[in-house]
Amino acid sequence: MQEYITVSMLNAYISRLFDQDEFLQEFWLKGELSGFRFYKQSGHSYFSLKDKDATINCVMFKSRMHTVNFQPEDGMEVLLRGYVSVYARQGKYQVYVEEMIPYGTGSLFLYLEKLKARLAEQGYFDAARKREIPRIVNRIGVVTSQDGAALQDILRVIRQRHPGAQVIVAHSSVQGSEAPRELAAGVRMLNEHGLAEVIIMARGGGSLEDLMAFNSEQVVQAVYTSKIPVISAVGHEVDVTFCDLVADLRAATPTQAAQFAVPDYTAVQKHRDELTLRMNRCMQRLLANRLERLDRCLMRKVWTQPQGVAKKQADRLTSCQQRLGAAMLEKVKNDRHRFALTAQGLDNMSPLKVLARGYAIATVEGAVVRRIDEVSEGDLLNIEMIDGRLTAVIEGKEKIERWKG
């Protein structure tokens, strides 16, 4: 009996195949609406999308319908974002639609405006979170097409400004349905690899459709979560894609992006040399002035004739001694002089001197008699002479006016 499998096993297997295929997880699909039916009770819509050769069934659940801001009608060209999965019970695969917009430049602008508003509201474009590009960069990551002109411009500028710089290219197509996924993968890969100090997202000029990949949410998300600062240079100067808005720095052209990314190394080299020169010159000046101060100090006599110091002290000593001596002499002389004067004075006053000159001193019981009324007749009087004492009795006394005191 032949080995066999069941219908559900087959459908389950097919369903798993679909769910594992990366591409089928999200893509943009263009086609013409037909058989569009909206079921009020469930809120879901069912339709098919066709082009001139093929058709495919689609379903848009109620939860996604709010993103449709137009009235879908059969025959309309639309652009929808969705994924494919197998409805196992019936063994049919269909597109599960996340977002749908009318196709055609008009609607593209409308779509972009709406997406931009949503991204802005979610903070993807906040200026506050934009980081500084490091001043000195040696390793630059570039996410672009390896065959594109953008890469050539970037390499030319980098080689010119910083010949030693290392460039790491994450190749990615820059338009077409694969571009969003590859660009996003390129940014993530560079982040994971971790060597690049800055990432440049670059693409040359192109139409709005050509640049659409850089407006995709995948790319915006990848740049937003990049740990490495991102410089974005997409399209011509006039074009601004969401990638430019979410990046840390927007450059008008790939060339300018490279200039922002890499400092002009000759300038950095010159700056370093200049700093080193200033440092050396300043140090020399500092040492020179300290040495000079030392020299000036050493030149002073105190070092050249050390004995000078001793001599000075000795001189001071001798001069002190001399002054001391002189002062003493002076003092002695003065004292002697004063002594003589006082002695002289004393001498003059000395009673002996008076007696020697022939005067006599009258005393009564040892006390000197100065006035005649201190005594009376008959009193006993001692008279002191130079060579002895006389005793006498007062016989008479008489007042005489000698001196107008």
* Burial of 24 (C-beta count, 10 Å sphere; 0-12/13-18/19+): middle
Q: Is 169 in the site for other proteins (CB under 8 A)?
A: yes
What single string gives the DSSP state of each residue in 296-316? HHHHSHHHHSHHHHHHHHHHH
Binding to other proteins in span 246-265, by CB under 8 A: 265
Binds other proteins by CB under 8 A, chosen from 30, 118, 290, 311: 290
Beta strands at 388-393 and 380-385: parallel, antiparallel or unpaired:
antiparallel
Minimum CB separation from other proteins for residue 192, in Å?
Answer: 8
Number of residues that bind other proteins (CB under 8 A): 38
Q: Is 286 in the site for other proteins (CB under 8 A)?
A: yes
Query: With the CA atoms of 276, 197, 242 and 103 taken in that order, what torsion angle do they form, in degrees rounded to the nearest 10?
Result: 140
Query: Of the candidates 239, 241, 275, 237, which has an alpha carbon nearest to the alpha carbon of residue 256?
Result: 237
Report how far residue 279's alpha carbon sits from residue 301's, in angstroms, rounded to the nearest whole number. 36
Binds other proteins by CB under 8 A, chosen from 75, 164, 358, 405: 164
Report how far residue 101's alpha carbon sits from residue 79's, in angstroms, rounded to the nearest whole number. 5
Minimum CB separation from other proteins for residue 21, in Å?
Answer: 18
Q: Is 114 in the site for other proteins (CB under 8 A)?
A: no
Task: Closer to other proteins by CB, 80 or 154: give it.
Answer: 154
Cα 288 from chain centroid (whole Å): 33
Task: Closer to other proteins by CB, 36 or 260: give it.
Answer: 260
Binds other proteins by CB under 8 A, chosen from 56, 65, 108, 268: 268
Binds other proteins by CB under 8 A, chosen from 1, 40, 52, 163: 163
Q: Is 170 in the site for other proteins (CB under 8 A)?
A: yes
Binding to other proteins in span 182-201, by CB under 8 A: 189-190, 192-193
Most distant CA atoms of the chain, gap in Å: 203
* Burial of 401 (C-beta count, 10 Å sphere; 0-12/13-18/19+): exposed
Binds other proteins by CB under 8 A, chosen from 9, 17, 117, 279: 279
List b or e across 124-157, with b for residues whose CB sees 16 or more CB atoms inside 10 angstroms: bbeeeeeeebeeebbebbbbbbeebebbebbbeb
Q: Considering only 103-111, 232-240, 270-278, 313-321, which stretch makes contact with other proteins by CB under 8 A?
A: 270-278
Report how far residue 312's alpha carbon sits from residue 107's, in angstroms, rounded to the nearest whole number. 107
Binds other proteins by CB under 8 A, chosen from 91, 134, 325, 351: 134
Binding to other proteins in span 135-154, by CB under 8 A: 135-136, 138-139, 141, 146, 151-152
Q: Is 166 in the site for other proteins (CB under 8 A)?
A: yes
Contact residues for other proteins, defined by CB under 8 A = 134-136, 138-139, 141, 146, 151-152, 155, 159, 162-171, 189-190, 192-193, 265, 268-269, 271-272, 275-276, 278-279, 282-283, 286, 290
